[in-house]
Amino acid sequence: MNQRPNLSTARAPLNLLMVEDDDGDVKAVRRALYRAGIEATMIRAVDGVEALSIMRGRARPHPSIPYIVLADIQMPRMNGLEFLNELRKDCSLKQVIVFVLTTSNNDQDKRKAYEAGISGYILKQNAGRDYRPLIETLDRFWNIVSFPDVRPSEE
């Protein structure tokens, strides 16, 4: 009789880069990771400028490769849509997996985000009051999807 493999031993830790200027949302995601018992590394950037610097290896800490980006739309200096456009212009980073996590339910924002190649547009109000359903979904995604090898550019 064949036994199913024990998936818990094969699971790689979830690596997240959260691009978010709201401290409360960052704390909520960290809490959700803890409460769901998901092993994860999370790095935070407060806007698109800082995120690109981290992703290009110009700032510490850098995320372990591969990683998933959770990016807000409404941020100072460089908003989420500007960040996505810059990211997709960078040959070494354009394949990074990005999910938008935002309060913006604006159809134009959604359209522009999908045109920039995001993997999903998630409204904060639909992500679960404590973000746990979102985190559990990302963890499942992380453990079944094959990611490209993305390294910082040598600019």
pLDDT per residue, tens digit, the chain (155 aa), is: 444 334 444 557 889 999 999 999 999 999 999 999 998 999 999 999 999 999 998 877 777 788 899 999 999 999 999 999 999 999 888 889 999 999 999 999 999 999 999 999 999 998 877 899 999 999 999 988 877 776 655 54
3-state secondary structure the chain: CCCCCCHHHHCCCEEEEEECCCHHHHHHHHHHHHHHCCCEEEEEECCHHHHHHHHCCCCCCCCCCCCEEEECCCCCCCCHHHHHHHHHHCCCCCCCEEEEEECCCCHHHHHHHHHCCCCEEEEHHHCCCCCHHHHHHHHHHHHHCCCCCCCCCCC
